[in-house]
Structure 1
């Protein structure tokens, strides 16, 4: 079983409903995931995005860069008695999505990995382990780029974001 970082863009009305009814939110997430699984929209057009197994690597790199928003785990717990895979879901308000989008755009992936020794990830027990391969830090680049595009589109639409690990 893999741990996957998951995101869903939601409108203000959808966020309100999700907070009030987490069961509805999980059903809604599954509907969007199923619909987009068939069409595979680009990150800038998608409502759902996954960082796949890179979530912990990105968490490590973003924390090292003192990133201003917790884009990996979300910031506000809204269903503490729910488990969406590996713990409860959280969300980011539209203003935090906007700040995250600006910071992602301003922080290139090259800058994130600059000066990082893969042994640091091994020492920190960053999931999924196996950081000894040459060029391993490049593994996260496509997901980081996609995450940046996803957040930029969400910010432009003034969307909030549901965040969870599945």
Structure 2
């Protein structure tokens, strides 16, 4: 028989399974870090069909503005996570990750869910607009929400 004290937590009744850590609620920061990790891995180690979309996102965000895509792809082993964190920050409308991070800490996971899986599915058509105002006018008319994607705006489709 084991003697318990206030210093040793009681052991749960064992059902043959090892004790598991408590599930931690995911945050917006966790989600963005995970997305940056996926982009980084895809760009570094994925086949060209997987690597190039990640590299193009970073290039379009201005992370490698003066380098051609071919050069970035050829030296993709040297890409770092910070490149993809900056990409995500720029896509969200911030100058860099350091500026974006305090904002992310205040947001809930739902605020960035559209960045992880736009509209929850990849099979629906989304309506893209060059300005937020155009997207808002469309959304008001059709009863949808507006999501900003970098300099552009999108209204998720319901198809």
Q: Do the two structures share a fold, i.e. TM-score over 0.5?
A: no
More strand by share: 1
Tell me which structure has the larger Cα radius of gyration. 2
Q: Normalized against structure 1, the TM-score is what?
A: 0.23
Compare relative contact order (CA 8 Å, sep 6+) and give the higher one, 1 or 2. Answer: 1
